[in-house]
Amino acid sequence: MKKILKLNYYLSEKVWGYEKWILSTHKNGISFICDEEKNLLEYLGEELPIIIKEIRANETLSVQVHPGDEYSKKYEGDNGKTECWYITNAKEGASIVYGIKEGITKEELLEDIENNNVEKILENVYVEKGDMIYIPSGVVHAIKGDIELIEIQQSSDVTYRIYDWGRDREVHVKKALDVIDFKFDNTKGIMKNFKILETPYFNVKKINVEGSYEDKTSNKFHMYICLNGNGIIKEINGEEISVSKGESIYIGKDSDYLFEGNLEMLKVY
């Protein structure tokens, strides 16, 4: 069984753009393995705790929130959803929704929803290429248009829509109000010049290879998303695989590996 796998995505088209599920064993979208007949879940024989997506937003996504583990398992039979976004491309002046105005109460938000006044209580944050945004469960958020990003999240597909900018899709107001963190500090979680993010569910690190980079897995897999450059990866004394911009590499447990070349990557572990 190979320890190093080049992955291919599951494509999910949306009214606002698309998602490419580049690492997933979730039932709603399982990733594929290049040059293998089995999908990732069939090949590994076990579910992974995270999903990684490439997202292209041509239009603004719904204003939404995700539940934590306890609520989601009780009501949805799925994991909670803490996530983060690494911005890979953004039009000048692009922004995201990140939280709600300080001091807004549950009762006030419900009134704004009922009166179609949600937009006035949203916090908007300008973003640019290279930013990292950490979004714990309970935080109201939305990706706006003209943004491309890598999303790393718990393995879950539970989303509660609060507001959808006039589109006629289902909203989930009661459940959303149950799980929103009204005390969340909106000044936290926006990282410029990103280097590393550590969370209870996953870690993300920016890796720049100029020549060679050696590492090893132990009891956890590693995942790499190539943002720029070209090179190779190989198990020590093993077969090598080419790596270039836009490609993703999964490395299984108990593996010593080596990158060679000039590469800018996100490491997820």
Q: Is the dihedral of CA 61, 62, 68, 69 positive or negative?
A: negative
Burial grade of 15 (CB within 10 A; 0-12, 13-18, 19 or more): exposed
Backbone angles phi, psi at 179, to 5 degrees: -110, -10
Neighbours of 169 (CB within 10 A): 9
CA proximity to 32, closest of 2, 7, 68, 59: 7
Catalytic residue among 56, 161, 167, 169: 161
Phi, psi of 111 (to 5 degrees): -65, -40
Helix (H, G, I), strand (E, B) or coil at 98: strand
CB 138 within 8 A of CB 82: no
φ, ψ at 121 (rounded to 5°): -105, 5
- Judged by DSSP in three states, 173 sits in helix
Residue-by-residue DSSP string for 7-30: EEPEEEEETTEEEEEEE---TT--
Give the chain's radius of gyration (CA, Å).
19
* Cα 155-157-161 angle, rounded to 5 deg: 140
Q: How far is 123 from 145, CA to CA, in rounded Å?
A: 16
161 is catalytic: yes
The set of catalytic residues is 161
